[in-house]
Amino acid sequence: MKKVITYGTYDLLHFGHIRLLERAKALGDYLIVGVTSDGFDRVRGKINVQQTLMERIEAVKATGIADQIVIEEYEGQKIDDIKRYNVDIFTVGSDWIGKFDYLNEYCKVVYLDRTQGISSSELRADKRKERIGLVGGSLNAMAMLEKFEKESHYVNGVEISGICTYNKDIAINLKNLPCVTEQYEELLSVSDALYIISQPENHYEHIKKALEHGKHVLCESPITTEVSQLQELWDLAERNHCILMDGVKTAYSIAYNRMLVLAKSGRIGEIVSVDATCTSLLDFAKFDITKCWNSISAWGPTAMLPIFQLLGTKYDSCSIVSKMHSESDNFDLFTKIAFEYPTAVASLKVAQGVKSEGELVISGTKGYIYIPAPWWKTDYFELRYENPAENKRYFYQLEGEGIRNEIVSFVKAIQGIEFSYIGKDVSKEIVHLTERFKNNRHRL
């Protein structure tokens, strides 16, 4: 029996896929089809796959062409599969000519001509696009607005409809957008959804008006500065069948999510401590602090994320200590929060006026996980043990600092395919601590 193997994502299965599978089957007597997993697709940069793994497997199965279906989950699996299943021929489309010549050492490699005029990428691009409007004006938000616009070009089914900003520098930098305005209603009229990175104290009004107009919202965390406002907005979003989602790009990093899985799996034993630090230095001669996010808002949600996702939000106590800017009673140059849980402790340090090592350390009874600075956009972390010979390093490709993955997740949530990587309990606790900072804090 001559065995043939081929691989693909098979998203939005079309005639081109079927024709390729038929020709692959004709090369031998038994066809094995490898369908790439969601995680492996993300590692390879395929971030806007429309269908789930099970939907794609079922679609391939329904063709009746494959004799066996396997899931491709890691780099190098092709060699393992060829050996495991005693494969005679590996085949793939001609657009990969030369890419898999190294497999000739293990079996015969055949490149098949692609069916012209159709592809999954074209089908995804032809779907109705979600028009996302940008909202924000502070100078330290400028970089995120520009990154978001740039990363949107990597996601099929999305277009930036415009921006609402009072900041002339931002308006000039994004002047080529279809709509550049200071009038929020004007932006709402040309948008299906909003990405909001306005001042945190303005989030509530901006989100409420968007939801009242039936627009979906991705808002940089914290969503609001008061828990009562957050609950009101969640209720409004549910009534109007809208998505309201936290924007914390770190949550959509492949490495970060893999780290969470390993930490929760017991690889470092029982988690006893989580310590997160996020700092940067603002040029206060250039920035008007009354129009800038303070440190607890700019960095707090990111630093809180691993603490709450690993230890939960039901801590016994927490203390907040801040060093404030001399010209503002709301702008913290530095804030430290210490948590006590029933069986663990945690701490975070955030600052825009103090510099420290921006690392994340998760300590357990068997070892610890170390993510070096800047851990919030890492593509690398280590598991470390008492015996250094047991240490293991993990590397994952990270494109766009997680922003493009975040956009994909937002669009899929709108389509009812996927939900936010940040649970409501985490979102609520981020807002709760933001509110607590505002109302009651100890100053250095």
Q: Which pLDDT belongs to residue 120? A: 52
Residue type at position 73: E
Q: Which pLDDT belongs to residue 118? A: 55
Residues 6+ apart with CB under 8 A from 168: none
Q: Which pLDDT belongs to residue 44? A: 61
Residues 6+ apart with CB under 8 A from 204: 224, 225, 226, 229, 233
Q: Which pLDDT belongs to residue 430? A: 98
Residue 38 phi, psi (nearest 5): -60, -45
d(CA 342, CA 354): 31
Question: Are the C-beta atoms of 269 and 294 separated by less than 8 Å?
Answer: no
The SS3 assignment for 379 reads: coil
pLDDT tens across the length of the chain (444 residues): 999 999 988 887 777 888 899 999 999 999 999 998 877 766 666 566 767 777 788 889 989 999 999 999 888 899 999 999 999 999 999 888 999 999 999 999 999 987 655 555 554 555 568 999 999 988 778 889 999 999 998 887 899 999 999 999 999 999 999 999 999 999 999 999 999 999 999 999 999 999 999 999 999 999 999 999 999 999 999 999 999 999 999 998 888 988 998 999 999 999 999 999 999 998 888 778 888 899 999 999 999 999 999 999 999 999 999 999 988 888 999 999 999 999 999 999 999 999 999 999 999 999 999 999 999 998 899 999 999 999 999 988 787 888 988 998 899 889 877 667 899 999 999 999 999 998 876 666
d(CA 199, CA 218): 14
Residues 6+ apart with CB under 8 A from 143: none
Please state, in angstroms and as integers, the Cα–Cα distance from residue 34 to each residue in 41, 124, 153, 336, following that order. Answer: 12, 22, 29, 49
d(CA 225, CA 144): 20
Residue 286 token pair: 């250039």
At which residue do the structure tokens 């490898």 appear?
34
Q: Which helix (H) or strand (E) holds 385?
A: strand 380-385
Residue 287 token pair: 């920035």
Q: Which pLDDT belongs to residue 31? A: 96
Q: Which pLDDT belongs to residue 43? A: 63
Residue type at position 226: E
The SS3 assignment for 160 reads: strand
DSSP 8-state symbol, 140: G
Q: Which pLDDT belongs to residue 34? A: 94
Among 334, 221, 315, CA closest to 274: 315
Residues 6+ apart with CB under 8 A from 126: none
Q: Which pLDDT belongs to residue 122? A: 53
Burial of 430 (0-12, 13-18, 19+ CB in 10 A): buried
Return the ∠ at Cα 441 (arms to 436 and 444), rounded to 5°: 150
Domains of the chain: residue spans and CATH: 3-122 (3.40.50.620), 128-247 (3.40.50.720), 251-401+410-443 (3.30.360.10)
CA dihedral 419, 425, 426, 428 (to 10 degrees): 110
SS (H, E, C) 218-287: EEECCCCCCHHHHHHHHHHHHHCCCCEEEECHHHHCHHHHHHHHHHHCCCCCCEEEEEEEEECCCCCCCC
Residues 6+ apart with CB under 8 A from 294: 328, 330, 331, 332, 352
Predicted TM-score (pTM) of the model is 0.78
As a residue count, the chain comes to: 444
